């Protein structure tokens, strides 16, 4: 399965619910669209079939019988290549969920949902629906590239995947660490189980244990029902602990205890439950920082890094650039209904020579930009917006704790010279982001913290500015 090509449709009349689901899923999957009215479903399907539909069941205010959702489900199931449907039902509406399953829904989720559960349900619906194929893809991971360094990474994955060893994936932002983790899962004995990804840097310290280990009803004010944590949700599968380098030390101690004992105690429970998950972790910290005990506990590190897979930055495997560019151009051409175009030879050379501080993710965004803005018969280098992409790499500085957004903006201004009179709000935002990234040495989580926004919000802004 390749997350970057997965298309998800959320069909829910509640704008807040749809927005929350879209924000959650957008980082993981290629395209996440929202539709509020089932009457428009036919038109949307005619423009392209999603892989997974999250389907609400009541659209007209006051209706609770679920008939509108069941009709939409029937319509989806009648398509020549029907998407997998995950029913979104109210907490108590078990009969409706059962009816949806009988009519072909792949799964159901009760609202309000548990994020980990929802992602796990989408992942497994995708995995069941379509194994990724294609000459450039390898295995079922979507990990592309035939350069010598990528062949070495792939050989390492093939050797390590069938073992139960914990694996730590190292590499800069956007190099493909999550794809490596997915490849490890897909080639392991746990492939039929869940692959569950958790952003450890984004878990609030106050709910860390409840999110990871689950809780019992009544164990704290908001604990209205028993809830499984990520360790339980990934049972029999692989738990991908992303951004492990951003975990506070106190949380590291709790994680260490679980890994040592191989059991978790849900908050409010009086006895532990055994855990059956394989742990794959990832960080963009360089190894000097990772081995600094002030940043990361050595005992936890040794639990996690039985095997280390290093994913090289794109500038060290330039041979992969043309293949990746063609793949992502083709993907965006399909997505935006644009004609297929080739890349001018000079543009291929320039793409290969670019330093790509944001690695494959940045290349992907640059290709999307070229498809949208390119106005010639062939893609030219200007279409990719590369001069702008290089900006963050110009002034790398040591990260500064507690940096404020205003401070970063000021540094951006200094780095870029005096504020130009014609500078727009948007260009100031772009400069602030570029400066924050430079100061954080490309670490998205640190840059997001400096700017006072979430990682997901920063990714959206990187997307918007083509950084």
**Is the separation of the CB atoms in 128 and 120 below 8 Å?**
no
Smallest separation (angstroms) from ligand ATP to the CB of 143:
5
**Could you give the residue ranges of the DSSP H alpha helices within 342-404?**
345-353, 359-373, 386-389
N-term to C-term CA, the chain: 26
Q: Which residues bind ligand ATP (CB under 6 A)?
A: 4, 142-145, 171, 173-179, 242, 284, 324, 360-361, 364, 444
Of 56 and 172, CB closest to ligand ATP: 172
Of 227 and 455, CB closest to ligand ATP: 455
- For 380, the token pair is 């030219």
* Residue pointed to by tokens 């506990």: 297
Smallest separation (angstroms) from ligand ATP to the CB of 243:
7
**Is the separation of the CB atoms in 44 and 76 below 8 Å?**
no
Smallest separation (angstroms) from ligand ATP to the CB of 195:
12
Cis peptide upstream of residue 112 (ω within 30 degrees of 0): yes
**Is the separation of the CB atoms in 51 and 128 below 8 Å?**
no
Of 358 and 374, CB closest to ligand ATP: 358
- CB neighbours (10 Å) of residue 50? 23
Smallest separation (angstroms) from ligand ATP to the CB of 462:
10
Of 258 and 311, CB closest to ligand ATP: 311
Smallest separation (angstroms) from ligand ATP to the CB of 241:
12
- For 91, the token pair is 């907490």
Smallest separation (angstroms) from ligand ATP to the CB of 175:
4
278 DSSP assignment:
E
Smallest separation (angstroms) from ligand ATP to the CB of 346:
24
Smallest separation (angstroms) from ligand ATP to the CB of 114:
22
Of 215 and 327, CB closest to ligand ATP: 327
Of 231 and 356, CB closest to ligand ATP: 356
Of 82 and 139, CB closest to ligand ATP: 139
Of 4 and 124, CB closest to ligand ATP: 4
Which residue number is nearest to ligand ATP in terms of Cβ? 176
Interatomic CA distance for residues 140 and 25, integer angstroms: 20
- For 160, the token pair is 């390590």
Interatomic CA distance for residues 362 and 122, integer angstroms: 25
φ, ψ (nearest 5 deg) of residue 280: -120, 130
What are the E-state strand segments in 289-333?
Answer: 307-310
Closest by Cα among 361, 338, 262 to 303: 262
């Amino acid at each position: 399965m390749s997350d970057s090509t997965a298309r998800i449709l959320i069909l829910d009349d509640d704008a807040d619910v749809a927005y929350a689901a879209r924000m959650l899923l957008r980082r993981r999957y290629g395209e996440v669209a929202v539709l509020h009215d089932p009457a428009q479903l036919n038109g949307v399907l005619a423009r392209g079939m999603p892989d997974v539909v999250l389907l609400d069941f009541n659209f007209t205010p006051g209706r609770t019988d679920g008939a509108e959702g069941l009709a939409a489900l029937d319509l989806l199931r009648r398509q020549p290549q029907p998407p997998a449907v995950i029913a979104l039902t109210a907490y108590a509406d078990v009969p409706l969920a059962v009816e949806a399953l009988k009519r072909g829904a792949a799964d159901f989720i009760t609202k309000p949902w548990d994020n980990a559960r929802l992602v796990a349900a989408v992942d497994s619906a995708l995995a069941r629906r379509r194994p990724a194929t294609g000459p450039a893809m390898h295995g079922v991971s979507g990990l592309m590239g035939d350069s010598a360094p990528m062949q070495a990474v792939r050989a390492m994955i093939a050797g390590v995947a069938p073992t139960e060893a914990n694996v730590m994936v190292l590499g800069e932002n956007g190099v493909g660490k999550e794809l490596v983790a997915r490849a490890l899962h897909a080639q392991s004995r746990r492939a039929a189980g869940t692959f569950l990804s958790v952003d450890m840097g984004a878990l609030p310290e106050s709910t860390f244990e409840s999110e990871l280990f689950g809780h019992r009803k009544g164990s704290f004010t908001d604990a209205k029902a028993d809830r499984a944590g990520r360790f339980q949700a990934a049972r029999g599968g692989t738990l991908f602990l992303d951004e492990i380098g951003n975990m506070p030390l106190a949380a590291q101690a709790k994680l260490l205890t679980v890994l040592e004992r191989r059991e978790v105690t849900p908050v409010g429970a009086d006895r532990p439950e055994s855990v059956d998950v394989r742990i794959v972790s990832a960080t963009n910290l360089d190894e000097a920082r990772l081995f600094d005990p002030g940043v990361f506990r050595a005992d936890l590190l040794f639990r996690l890094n039985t095997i280390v897979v290093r994913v090289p930055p794109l500038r060290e495997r330039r041979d992969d650039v043309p293949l990746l560019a063609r793949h992502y151009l083709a993907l965006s051409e399909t997505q935006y209904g644009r004609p297929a175009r080739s890349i001018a030879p000079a543009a291929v050379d320039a793409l290969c020579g670019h330093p790509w501080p944001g690695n494959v993710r940045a290349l992907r965004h640059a290709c999307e930009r070229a498809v949208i803005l390119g106005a010639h018969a062939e893609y030219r280098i200007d279409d990719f917006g590369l001069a702008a992409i290089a900006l963050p790499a110009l002034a790398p500085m040591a990260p500064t704790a507690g940096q404020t957004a205003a401070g970063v903006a000021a540094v951006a201004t200094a780095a870029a010279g005096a504020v130009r009179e014609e500078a727009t709000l948007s260009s100031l935002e772009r400069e602030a982001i570029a400066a924050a990234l430079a100061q954080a040495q490309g670490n998205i989580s640190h840059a997001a913290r400096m700017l006072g926004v979430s990682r997901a919000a920063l990714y959206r802004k990187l997307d918007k500015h083509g950084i």
